Amino acid sequence: MSGAKIRQNIAFSVLGAVTLLIVVPILLVIVYIVVNGAGAVTWSFLTEEPRSGMKAGGIFPAIVGTILLVIGTMLFSLPLGVLSAIYLVEYARDDLFTRIIKLSVVNLSGIPSIVYGLFGFTVFVLLLHFGTSILAGSLTLAIMSLPVIITASKEALESVPFSYREISLSLGASKWQTVRYCVLPYAIPGILTGTVLSLSRAAGETAPILFTVAAFYLPRLPRGAFDQVMALPYHLYVISTQVPNIPLSLSFATALVLIALVFLMNLVSIILRAHYRKKRLW
């Protein structure tokens, strides 16, 4: 074997080892949580309220809270994100203004989650008098989710062949009719994939909901959009740092439920993507 070949083998082995160094901890993290948490995830854990200062009972209110937040986030961010992507792809000219919008998308995605929390707190909780509520939290998470939804929708819209638009326009359809009937339907799968992915991220976020929605301990279900709720990630934060002597199995079980929920949403987006890719027309 020549020297170059030997060097190649060594180099590729090193790269392989580096990759292994990343993959193994990922596996370990998942296995560690599943092994330690699975025993405590029972039906009653999922459906009961926390009892005796969160040292016993379940996490039902936190699960409901997180699901409500995800739905609320979607209600605000999906329409806004899709319309904004439609603007960028179908309406915007290639000028300075469009560059500013694109740069804003990049910067919005880079703003730390805790800064969203601060913003949501001053604007939604205080200025608009929503109080710490599902509404304030959903709006905060929605702004945070916007960049991902816009980017995904933009890519989905751009992937629709240009000829679709030309044909529609040549038949006398208006701009909006073309977008509505000849572009959007084919972009929906990509949009949904990106949306579910960004919502799964919103479900796992803690920092933006710290001061906008999360209740430390609230063993009942919310009655409206202006109520506080418990949320899974915040609950995990609380029981692992703020309250002493919580049985470790409860923390592990909460972490497991949170991870399961997030993975489930990721799985949905992967299945959606695979399903529609098969049916794609071009």
| Near other proteins in 59-78, by CB under 8 A | none
* 255 binding other proteins? (CB under 8 A): yes
Q: Which two tokens stand for residue 55?
A: 């040292």
The strand ranges marked E within the chain are 50-51, 56-57
* 111 binding other proteins? (CB under 8 A): yes
The residues, ordered by sequence, that sit 6+ positions from 84 with a Cβ below 8 Å of its Cβ are: 146, 150, 153
In Å, how far from its chain's centre is CA 82?
Answer: 16
What are the φ and ψ backbone dihedral angles of 50, each rounded to 5 degrees? Answer: -65, 145
Residues of span 120-149 touching other proteins by CB under 8 A: 121-123, 126, 143, 146-147
The nearest distance, CB 1 to other proteins, in angstroms, is: 11
The nearest distance, CB 117 to other proteins, in angstroms, is: 7
Residues forming a β-bridge with 229: 214
The nearest distance, CB 130 to other proteins, in angstroms, is: 15
* 104 binding other proteins? (CB under 8 A): yes
The answer to whether the beta carbons of residues 82 and 152 sit under 8 Å apart is: no
The answer to whether the beta carbons of residues 119 and 127 sit under 8 Å apart is: no
Among 51-59, 161-169, 237-245, 271-279, which window interacts with other proteins (CB under 8 A)? Answer: 237-245
Q: Considering beta carbons, is residue 223 or 275 the nearer one to other proteins?
A: 275
Residues of span 177-196 touching other proteins by CB under 8 A: none
Q: Considering beta carbons, is residue 47 or 91 the nearer one to other proteins?
A: 91
